[in-house]
Structure 1
Amino acid sequence: MSAAAAPPLPPAILLMGPTASGKTAVAMDLSRRFPVELISVDSAQVFRDMDIGTAKPDAPTLAAFPHYLIDLISPQEAYSAARFRSDALAAMAEITARGRVPLLVGGTMLYFKALVEGLVDLPPADLVTRAAIDREAAARGWPALHAELAELDPLTAARLQPTDAQRIQRALEVWRLSGRRLSAIIASGEKAVPQYRFTSIGLVPSDRSVLHRRIAERFDAMLAAGLEGEVEDLRGKYALHAELPSMRCVGYRQVWEVQHGQAPRGELRDRGIYATRQLAKRQITWLGNTLRPQTFDCLCGDLQDRVTAHLGDLFV
């Protein structure tokens, strides 16, 4: 069959935005209007029993609007962009086979990038290696490990800040597990592009101060709903430590530090709000610099109608 006669690729919608931008409300509204099914793109909502601090949709909401890729693993486990991509593509195939459209919604921008652009074949995460790197960082500091990385893999080190703990750790982990530079692996890898026609929508605030107010209100609501008790329950149910991905999640990390005497309890609210604001800032940077979706002001009063109008042609 010639390229001209090839059938059109099935559609898929990507709905992305910073925390507290109203993604869930827009996704539910689209579910009422169009034949879509929801796939969560959230690296925190994959953890079971982590409900309050992840702003996970509650049981009635999930019953009315089922989501794929929520409550997949325990907080003792790790989840990767590669596993997300595999899980998401499997869910998308199921949805498409039913004649419906996948709607992927969330704020983990790396997952969106991995889905659309593909991934090179990197060694999987190794908790023993990561723990060893974390111990070194605690003793020497992340700038010292960044300097070590600069000798081993100067190209990767050059694009990282000396305090970018997560990415420095990953680059060193790849080196120690494979003996290969992360930059070399990325440069040599071919990425498989998924066979979908993506429509990307980004929710961004026209006024950051309003988003910051929303973030503060939401963190206050999490505290009032029992976030501290949730972390206590998790510690009682699972064998957790501070360097697990689950306990690195914004909100959980700040509560963990308070409960382990590493930060004053009186600072919990301010530290949690500040960390969430920094997360939102990074998410907005991803949207503008890397993912570049069609953007909509998440603060406008007719947001849902505007997004609906934008997507209307998909369902004609």
Structure 2
Amino acid sequence: MSGEDLGGANGLATDAVLIAGPTASGKSALALSLAERTGGIIINADSMQVYRDLRVITARPTPDEEARVPHWLYGHVDACVNCSAGMWVGDAAKALEEARAQNRLPIFAGGSGLYFKALTRGLSAVPPIPSEVRDAVRARLERDGPEALHAVLAQRDPVTAERLKPRDRARIARALEVVEATGRSLTDWHRDGLPPLLPPGRVRAVFLAPDRETLYARIDARFGTMLAAGALEEVAALTERRLDPLLPAMKAHGVPALMRHLRGEMSLEQAAEIGRADTRHYAKRQFTWFRHQLPEFVWVRPEEAEAWVVASPQ
């Protein structure tokens, strides 16, 4: 099926639209408007919005918004699961196939650069890690600390270890799990990758680039809105599950600080300020990451993005 067939009578001559940008930049609103305009389907490309436990704290689309057009891959993974980029790509491939079968334009929206990079450039073919290997590495991490495991990794996979900071708990654990489960380093696996689902020539890829100060003000205001909408109660329910603190859902922006508040370690306002600061720092990293890693995304001011997507030539 050609790109011209996608999107119905008001569709765009493209295989897909990719909407990236920093948190709180207006990605969801743009995706919703385009989906309504084209009869398209919105597919999540945010690594935290996949978790069903985290609707409010991750600013997932509201139930009313989800009722207006189809939203896929939102809240479909339990927080006890480590939804890797590879897992997401598998789900995205099925979503893309279904969108094409329905003759509807797929609109990927999110802020996770690795997801978009996997979508357009492919991904390493690392096989699933057996639970017993993962559990053993996590136990060693808790017992010996990240620096000790970094030293082990430096012997087993020196190339990867050189790229990681000695206290980067999650990435050190992941790299050690891979080499212990497969006997091959992450560097080796990255050389033997899976092909991209959407090669760059047939997509319209936009990065929403709002004014920094305006964006940071929106981030600060949105955190208060999320608290008013039940974010603290959502985090309390997650806390009750007593999940592994290394799981991605347990590290979503705002979650660790709110958990500390619930344990009586700080006030709610202190926790909220940490959550706001963490989110602002993340937004800054998103700007930097996309600029260097995915330069093919066209940077557009949010208020001009829809006109650019609709008018942009192939």
TM-score bin (small chain) = 0.7 to 0.9
Aligned length: 302
Who is 1:221 aligned against?
225
CA-CA distance at 1:88 after TM superposition: 0.9
The match for 2:263 is 260
Aligned with 2:205 (options 200, 203, 207): 200
Pairing 1:247–2:250 present = yes
Distance 1:239 1:274, change over 3 A: same
Residues 216-269 of structure 1, C-alpha deviation per residue, up to 9 Å, x if partnerless? 111111122221111222344x45342222212112222223323565555201
Corresponding residue number in structure 1 for 2:9? none
- The one-letter code of the counterpart of 1:198 is V
| Mapped pair 1:109 → 2:108 | no
Q: What does 1:1-316 align with in structure 2 at a 5 Å threshold? A: 11-125=15-129, 129-187=133-191, 189-194=192-197, 197-206=202-211, 208-236=212-240, 238=241, 240-261=243-264, 265-292=268-295, 293-298=297-302, 302-303=303-304, 306-312=305-311
- Give the secondary-structure state (helix, strand or coil) at the position aligned to 2:194: coil
**Cα distance in 1 for residues equivalent to 2:221 and 2:193:** 44
Q: Deviations over 1:39-85 (max 9, x none)?
A: 01112222223211010111111001221101212222221211211
Structure-2 change in CA distance of 1:179 and 1:141 (3 Å): same
Q: Residue 300 of structure 2: SS of its match in structure 1?
A: strand
Give the CA deviation at 1:14.
Answer: 0.7
Change (3 A) 1:119 1:135: same
8 A contact 1:47–1:73 mirrored in 2? yes
Taking structure 2 as the reference length, what is the TM-score of the superposition?
0.86
Against the structure 1 CA distance between its residues 143 and 311, is the aligned structure 2 distance closer, same or farther, given a 3 Å change threshold?
Answer: farther
CA deviation after TM superposition for structure 1 residue 89, in Å: 1.5
Q: Which amino acid aligns with 2:205?
A: S
Separation in 1, partners of 2:134, 2:310:
43
Cα separation, partners in 2 of 1:195 and 1:235, compared to 1, 3 Å: closer
Q: Distance in 1 between matches of 2:161 and 2:313?
A: 42
What is the rounded CA distance, in whole Å, between the counterparts of 1:280 and 1:97 in structure 2?
Answer: 35
Q: Which runs of 5+ in 2 are unaligned?
A: 5-13
Q: Give the CA deviation at 1:124.
A: 2.0
- 2:10 aligns to what? none
Quote the Cα distance in structure 2 between the aligned partners of 1:289 and 1:97. Answer: 34
Q: 1:190 to 1:130 in 2, by over 3 A?
A: closer
For residue 14 of structure 1, give the secondary structure of its aligned residue in structure 2: strand
Residue type of the alignment partner of 1:203: L
Q: Distance in 2 between matches of 1:102 and 1:80?
A: 21
Which stretch has the larger CA shift, 271-280 or 156-165?
156-165
Query: Counterparts of 1:284 and 1:83 in 2: how far apart (Å)?
Result: 25
Q: 1:284 to 1:313 in 2, by over 3 A?
A: closer
